[in-house]
Amino acid sequence: MAEVRQDTAEDRFELVIDGQVAGFSAYQQQGDSIVFTHTEISPDRQEHGLGGQLVQGSLDQVRDNTELRVVAQCPFVAHWLTEHEDYQDLLTR
């Protein structure tokens, strides 16, 4: 079972599968924005849709727990957002 958790000490959201970090999405908090800078999935876990799960879980936590506006500097996050209109409100908070 995959779980997304926030590691505030490392400024990233992590995708955890069976207790192991399978990927992460790094961010920087700047004022009232959270800037996603890089997303990475372990090479042996790629091609399984895990990147999308990681981004969705990260954005869900931003939506549920903050009032921060999302800035997608990471190309993967930016592309994911263009395909999911129901998350684009996070870009204009």
Nearest-angstrom CA–CA distance, 7 and 26: 10
At a CB cut-off of 8 Å and minimum separation 6, what does 69 contact?
A: 32, 33, 34, 90, 91, 92, 93
List per-residue pLDDT tens for the chain, 93 residues long. Answer: 789 999 999 999 999 999 999 999 999 999 999 999 999 999 887 777 999 999 999 999 999 999 999 999 999 999 999 999 999 999 999
pLDDT of residue 47: 73
Which domains are seen in the chain, by residue range?
2-92 (3.40.630.30)
Q: What's the predicted TM-score (pTM) here?
A: 0.94
| Structure tokens given for 50 | 């895990």
